[in-house]
Structures are given as C-alpha cells and as structure tokens.
Amino acid sequence: MGTAWSLVDDEVATGLRIGPDAGPDAGSDAAAGLHQWTLKRNCSMSPQRFALLVALPATVSIGFASIFAYSGAWWVLIFALLEVTALLAAFVIYARHAGDYERIVVTPDALIVEFNSGTRVVRQQAHPAFARVEYPCCAKGTGGGDELIGLAFAGKAVQVGRFVPRFERAGLADEIRAHLVAAGKAAWK
C-alpha cells in the first residue's frame, strides 16, 4: 500500500489490526490514493467459543438444580434459572460488541470515518482538504494520557483510536495526518 506504518507482526501478539487493509488488489488501491485503516477490538474469544463456554456451566448448573428439584428443593431450580439468565445476558452483550470497529478511509476525494458499535453503524464523510488531525485530542473528561485521536472536518469533530494502545496512537495520528495532507494536495491538482 505504500505506507510505512503497519503492525502485521504485532497483529499475532495483540490481535489488533491496524494499518492500511491489504486486499487482493492492494497495489491498485495505493496507486489510486486509497488508504484505509480498520481498528478492531482485541477479541480473544470468538462468539461461538464464548457460547460453548457459557453453555457448559449453564448445563451443569441446571443439571444439579434439577436433581435438587426432584428431591423436593424446587427453589434451587429457580435460582439456577436466574443464574443461567445472567450468563445468557453476558453472552449477548459480549457477542454484540465482539465485532466493534472503527474504519478510516482517505482518498483524494473523501475522508470517510465509520464506527460500528453493537448493531449501530455511523458513517461520516468529508473532503480531505478540509479535515485535520488533532492529537492529543483535547476532549472534556479525558486525561491521564488516555487521549484519543481527533478528526475535525465539516464542522464536526470525531474521536478515533479506542482500540489502539496508547503508545501507538501518535504513530497512527501522524500517518493519517500525512495521508490527509497528500490527499488534500492531490485534490487541488
């Protein structure tokens, strides 16, 4: 893709996928000026494996509670059902957010920022010549070195980098800034 910033080696260690996405036609994307970063949560367990992990204790709990209920202590089954309900609620919350991501796309014609949180996808777009990167971002309520990367465009400001470790945010901000400048210059040619 023609960029110097990619964490292909660290992806195995951290599960974090940062850097321009490389697809089968990555060379043509770089030549066209397309630079894309997909920032994902470090998800150590797939929703399918987590479902298996939840199903095992739920089955054991209901099994023991059924034995107690058969012996006359039926109220144990009620508490076991409450426990299984709580486990299922935790599973639903985990599965809903396991695929959360932030995507940043810079082309000569557009800056696209897309957020996916649960079932909600928000996409914002602006011309890269009118966008700027603010890092560290000066948002209210943050502090202690936990600043996100701010992107200001079209009278809006969004923050990205929630899934990026703090020590790598400056590098990502610098790379996005460089591609925005290059895209802005290419747009005015």
Give per-residue pLDDT as tens, 96-144.
Answer: 888 889 999 999 888 999 999 888 999 999 988 889 998 876 555 445 5
Res 75 pLDDT > 90: yes
Kindly state whether residues 115 and 181 are assigned to the same domain. Answer: yes
User: Rounded to whole angstroms, how far apart are CA atoms 168 and 174?
Assistant: 10
CATH of the domain at 168: 2.30.29
**Mean pLDDT, residues 143-170 taken together:** 85
**Beta-strand pair 35-40/132-134:** unpaired
Q: What is the domain count for the chain?
A: 2
Kindly state whether residues 37 and 57 are assigned to the same domain. Answer: no
Q: How many CA atoms lie within 13 A of 133 on its CB side?
A: 24
Going by pLDDT thresholds of 50, 70 and 90, the confidence category of residue 185 is: confident
Q: CA-based angle 118:39:17, to the nearest 5?
A: 120
Q: For residue range 157-168, list pLDDT tens digits in order.
A: 899 998 999 889
Kindly state whether residues 158 and 182 are assigned to the same domain. Answer: yes
Which domain, by its residues, includes 136?
Answer: 8-41+100-187
Kindly state whether residues 125 and 171 are assigned to the same domain. Answer: yes
Q: For residue range 4-49, list pLDDT tens digits in order.
A: 333 332 333 333 344 444 333 434 455 567 899 999 988 787 778 8
User: Rounded to whole angstroms, how far apart are CA atoms 87 and 60?
Assistant: 13
